[in-house]
């Protein structure tokens, strides 16, 4: 399979390939024809990029133990992003000339070359000094290679996995039967002393399988029958009473009150709905130690019918003691050695025949020992070994120093770290980018594939595979390695600890606003930015983003609540300054009009304006020649598209479902490969 073949290990290496691809197009070459001096400079740029590219793998390996190398790599990362912007800008100008040539004279096919010879001296006059600076900066990086002892290492060949027919059934759980029965017994028992509801807390390490166990119990037939009223909510690290209440109401299929922003009215509603009912609520992953918050929350449940139960899963024993009686605490233990082995076998040995198995079993047993009976670790390392077929490769994993690294500042499980470091280089970037999603966030396939595509993380589509298929293969690879999970309704999500890993590897360039750990001096490097939209998102909320230089993704994460408002000042004054943006989503904001300056975002590939209140789009949006995806679904006021929409020659996906468009602009049919929804 193509993904597995794309070897090379550093994440930045995959990006460098993207940069080379930009210089490899015909249009790019044509621009410089007959400009000897400029051509030489471009050649020098390529040579320099190759020189740093050759030592990237070595640098990535050494960065954990050498902070100078780490700094070098980080600065280089930013520099390559800037180089990419420069080259993309040149390509965009070539694209502009091509489109305009076509549009200014629609009857004849005017050769793009004719226009490139008239390619404005002004434009190149502006770009070439920047390329020159870039070359000089790269010279500086090259000078450091020898002093830091960086070397060219030959890529290690990995065996290529034969495509498997099906994914492992992730639902099978090992070694939890006894635990399950005990907890179900606690649930089904009537409370002795006449209290209305009982809290049972399941306590255990991260990765031990608390949520999995709770799900097993929640889905059990006996439990289903016993509790007609049930809801599940993920609490996670940032405790938000309004969100929890809302999600409980949604889980109980109760329509939200009209004043759904008002915490008090939400809570009154919930409390009323639960009164006199026998309910089961699961509060998954509780972190909040504040007694006050718990006290306020539990009031909502007090009207329940006797025998109602609340399961709270948490890593923190102190929390368990705070919220329930000692006898209602269930401490989840590690799973037994045999169960570890069964779990491992199931995930690692699929597609391996008898002989292979025999050869690998002994090493496998030793590897399982290193996982310290933690199911998540076993599953992840098994997922990694699934694609490795030789004893040498298995030995490599067994003796890896990652198992014993103690200076692991992020506290990431060794098995997870290993799994990441063995990902092919493109997948590393795709995985790291998932850090934009907060814990427990469930995303749709399309959302992640668009995000990857807009950021050039996927390989270019080929003859027989479109971008969507490529995206699906990547998703599958990540699932096989247990780095992503798929829920029963087809949404994707990450285990908490895997989310921590994604955050750790993308720490410098991926930032979620709700995280508190923004390191000083880091802002300049942020490329991916996500946050929760609020009813009033003011200018101040985003002001710190002024300092970013490479912001490529701007992503509000919302579950489709509309009525959120974005500051006009932000929209008009700040947004157009994020010149590097590739992915922009303004979903569900009550926006009536986009500023013309949106057309300054020349690099934009993806624009989601769904569920906004736009009546028209500015005409100049048609000069976003790189735009591939434009989502305009459920724009209830949008009646027409800009006249020259046909200029958007890279547009391949347009979603206008649920928008009352009256007619399509002329020449839309010329857009090759445009698909609609």
Ligand X SMILES: *[C@@H]1O[C@H](CO)[C@@H](O)[C@H](O)[C@H]1NC(C)=O
- Cα separation, 318 vs 334, in Å, equals 19
Instruction: Give the separation between CA 303 and CA 447, rounded to whole angstroms.
Output: 40
Residues 360-399 binding ligand X (CB under 6 A) are: none
Residues 419-438 that bind ligand X (CB under 6 A): none
Tokens of residue 79, six digits: 């520099």
C-beta of residue 376 within 8 angstroms of C-beta of residue 413? yes
With CB under 6 A as the contact rule, which of the stretches 38-46, 67-75, 125-133, 445-453 interacts with ligand X? 445-453
Which of 201, 212, 626, 659 is close enough to bind ligand X by CB under 6 A?
Answer: 626
Q: Which of 302, 318, 325, 536 lies at the binding interface for ligand X (CB under 6 A)?
A: 302
Q: How many of the chain's residues bind ligand X (CB under 6 A)?
A: 37
Does the footprint of ligand X cover residue 196 (CB under 6 A)?
A: yes
Q: Site map for ligand X, 118-147, x if CB under 6 A? A: ------------------------------
The runs of H, that is alpha helices, within 105-209 are: 112-117, 121-145, 177-188
Q: Rule CB under 6 A: say whether 105 interacts with ligand X.
A: yes
* Residue 560 near ligand X by CB under 6 A: yes
CB of 564 to ligand X, least distance (A): 10
Which listed residue (134, 384, 457, 587) binds ligand X by CB under 6 A?
587
Closest CA to 201 of 183, 225, 188: 183
Binding region for ligand X (CB under 6 A) out of 129-137, 476-484, 534-542, 602-610: 602-610
Q: Which of 47, 65, 111, 262 binds ligand X (CB under 6 A)?
A: 111
DSSP 546: G
Options 201-209, 237-245, 422-430, 582-590: segment touching ligand X (CB under 6 A): 582-590
Does 599 bind ligand X (CB under 6 A)? Our answer is: no
Residue of 38, 82, 100, 395 interacting with ligand X (CB under 6 A):
100
Rg (CA), the chain: 27
By CB under 6 A, residue 610 contacts ligand X: yes
- Which is nearer to ligand X, 107 or 516 (by Cβ)? 107
Nearest to 379 by CA among 477, 482, 485, 486: 482
Rounded to an integer, what distance in angstroms lies between the CA atom of residue 446 and that of residue 469? 11
* 24 phi/psi in degrees, rounded to 5: -95, -5
The distance in angstroms from the start CA to the end CA of the chain is: 30
Cβ distance to ligand X smaller for residue 93 or 284:
93
Cβ–Cβ < 8 Å for 460, 21: yes
Nearer to ligand X, 97 or 378 (CB): 97
| 405 neighbors 443 (Cβ within 8 angstroms) | no
Helix (H) or strand (E) holding 653: strand 653-655
Cβ at position 555, least distance to ligand X in Å: 8
Strand, helix or coil for residue 279: strand
Cβ distance to ligand X smaller for residue 176 or 450:
450
- 339 or 634: CB nearest ligand X: 634
Q: Which is nearer to ligand X, 275 or 567 (CB)?
A: 275
How far, in Å, CA of 166 to CA of 168, rounded? 6
Q: How far is CA 72 from the centre of its chain?
A: 26
d(CA 307, CA 59): 59
Interatomic CA distance for residues 242 and 169, integer angstroms? 35
Sign of the alpha-carbon torsion through 311, 215, 287, 321: positive
Q: Closer to ligand X at the Cβ: 116 or 288?
A: 116
Reading the block at residue 401, the tokens are: 């120093």
Identity of the residue, 196 or 486, whose beta carbon is nearer to ligand X in the bound complex: 196
Residue 612 beta carbon to ligand X: minimum distance, rounded to whole angstroms: 9
Candidate list 425, 608, 623, 659; residue touching ligand X; CB under 6 A? 608
For strands 485-486 and 492-493, give the pairing.
antiparallel
588 binds ligand X (CB under 6 A): yes
- State the nearest-atom distance from the C-beta of 148 to ligand X, in Å: 35
Site for ligand X in 462-491 (CB under 6 A): 466
Task: Compute the least distance from the CB of residue 672 to ligand X, in Å.
Answer: 5
Q: Does 25 bind ligand X (CB under 6 A)?
A: yes
**Residue 303, interface with ligand X (CB under 6 A)?**
yes
CB 604 within 8 Å of CB 582: yes
Decide if residue 446 touches ligand X (CB under 6 A).
yes
509 closest CA partner among 524, 530, 525: 525
Task: Please pick, from the candidates 36, 67, 104, 221, the single residue that binds ligand X as defined by CB under 6 A.
Answer: 104
* Burial profile 404-439: b = 16 or more Cβ within 10 angstroms, e = fewer: eeeeeeeebbbbbbbbbbbbbbbbbbbbbbbbbbbb
Instruction: Report whether 378 contacts 344 (CB < 8 A).
Output: yes
**Residue 33 binding ligand X, by CB under 6 A:** no
DSSP symbol at 600: G
| Cβ atoms 250, 201 nearer than 8 A | no
In the complex, least distance from residue 104 CB atom to ligand X, rounded to whole angstroms: 4
The reply on whether position 101 binds ligand X by CB under 6 A is yes
What character string, x for contact with ligand X (CB under 6 A) and - otherwise, covers 268-287? -------xx-----------
Q: What is the distance between the alpha carbons of residues 622 and 232, in angstroms, rounded to a whole number?
A: 45
Identified binder of ligand X from the candidate list 36, 37, 67, 107, rule CB under 6 A: 107
Counted residue by residue, the chain has a size of: 677
Q: Which stretch binds ligand X (CB under 6 A): 97-105, 289-297, 414-422, 529-537?
A: 97-105
Residues contributing to the site for ligand X (CB under 6 A): 25, 95, 97, 100-101, 104-105, 107-108, 111, 113-115, 196, 275-276, 302-303, 446-447, 450, 466, 560, 585, 587-588, 605, 608, 610-611, 626, 628, 631, 649-650, 672-673
């Amino acid at each position: 399979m193509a993904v597995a073949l794309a070897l090379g290990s550093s994440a930045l290496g995959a990006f460098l390939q993207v940069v080379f691809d930009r210089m490899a197009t015909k249009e790019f070459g044509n621009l410089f024809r007959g400009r000897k001096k400029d051509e030489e400079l471009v050649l020098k740029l390529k040579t320099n990029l190759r020189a740093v590219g050759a030592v990237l793998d070595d640098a990535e390996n050494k960065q954990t133990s050498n902070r100078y190398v780490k700094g070098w790599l980080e600065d280089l990362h930013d520099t390559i992003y800037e180089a990419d912007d420069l080259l993309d800008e040149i390509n965009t100008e070539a694209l502009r000339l091509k489109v305009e040539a076509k549009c200014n004279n629609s009857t004849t096919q005017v050769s793009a070359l004719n226009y490139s010879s008239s390619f404005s001296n002004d434009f190149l006059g502006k770009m070439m000094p920047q390329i020159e600076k870039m070359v000089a900066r790269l010279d500086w990086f090259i000078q450091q290679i020898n002093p830091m002892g960086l070397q060219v290492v030959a890529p290690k060949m990995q065996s290529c996995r034969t495509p498997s027919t099906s994914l492992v059934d992730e639902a099978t759980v090992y070694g939890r039967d006894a635990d399950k029965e005990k907890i179900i017994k606690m649930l089904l028992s009537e409370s002795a002393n006449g209290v209305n509801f009982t809290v049972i807390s399941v306590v255990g390490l991260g990765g031990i399988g608390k949520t999995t166990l709770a799900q097993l119990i929640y889905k059990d037939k006996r439990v289903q029958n016993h509790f007609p009223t049930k809801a599940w909510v993920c609490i996670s690290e940032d405790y938000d009473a309004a969100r929890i209440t809302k999600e409980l109401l949604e889980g109980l299929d109760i329509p939200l009150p009209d004043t759904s922003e008002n915490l008090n009215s939400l809570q009154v509603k919930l409390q009323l709905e639960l009164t006199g009912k026998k309910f089961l609520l699961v509060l998954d992953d509780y972190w909040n130690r504040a007694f006050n918050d718990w006290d306020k929350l539990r009031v909502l449940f007090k009207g329940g019918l006797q025998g109602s139960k609340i399961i709270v899963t948490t890593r923190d024993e102190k929390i368990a003691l705070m919220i329930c009686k000692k006898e209602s605490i269930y401490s989840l233990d590690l799973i037994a050695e045999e169960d570890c082995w069964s779990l491992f076998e199931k995930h690692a040995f699929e597609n391996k025949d008898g002989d292979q198995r025999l050869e690998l079993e002994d090493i496998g047993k030793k590897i399982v020992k290193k996982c310290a009976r933690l199911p998540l670790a076993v599953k992840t390392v098994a997922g990694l070994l699934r694609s490795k077929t030789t004893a040498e490769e298995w030995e490599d994993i067994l003796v890896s120093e990652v198992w014993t690294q103690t200076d692991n500042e992020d506290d990431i499980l060794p098995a997870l770290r290993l799994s990441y470091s063995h990902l092919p280089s493109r997948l590393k970037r795709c995985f790291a980018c998932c850090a934009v999603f907060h814990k427990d966030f469930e995303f749709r396939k399309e959302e992640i594939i668009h995000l990857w595509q807009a950021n050039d993380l996927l390989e270019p589509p080929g003859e027989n595979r479109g971008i969507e298929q490529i995206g699906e293969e990547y998703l599958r690879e990540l699932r096989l390695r247990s780095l992503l999970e798929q829920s029963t309704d087809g949404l994707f999500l990450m285990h908490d600890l895997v989310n921590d890993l994604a955050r750790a590897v993308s720490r410098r360039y991926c930032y979620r606003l709700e995280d508190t750990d923004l390191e000083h001096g880091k802002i300049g490097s942020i490329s991916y930015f996500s946050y929760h939209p609020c009813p009033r998102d003011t200018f101040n909320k985003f002001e710190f983003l002024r300092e970013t230089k490479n912001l490529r993704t701007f992503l509000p994460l919302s579950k489709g609540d509309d009525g959120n408002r974005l500051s006009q000042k932000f929209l008009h004054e700040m947004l157009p300054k994020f010149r590097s943006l590739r992915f922009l989503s303004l979903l569900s904001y009550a926006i009536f009009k986009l500023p013309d300056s949106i057309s300054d975002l020349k690099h934009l590939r993806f624009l989601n304006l769904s569920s906004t209140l736009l009546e028209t789009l500015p005409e100049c949006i048609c000069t976003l020649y790189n735009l591939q995806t434009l989502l305009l679904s459920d724009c209830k006021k949008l009646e027409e598209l800009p006249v020259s929409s046909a200029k958007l020659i890279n547009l391949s996906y347009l979603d206008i479902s649920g928008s009352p468009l009256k007619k399509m602009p002329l020449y839309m049919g010329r857009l090759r490969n445009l698909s609609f929804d």
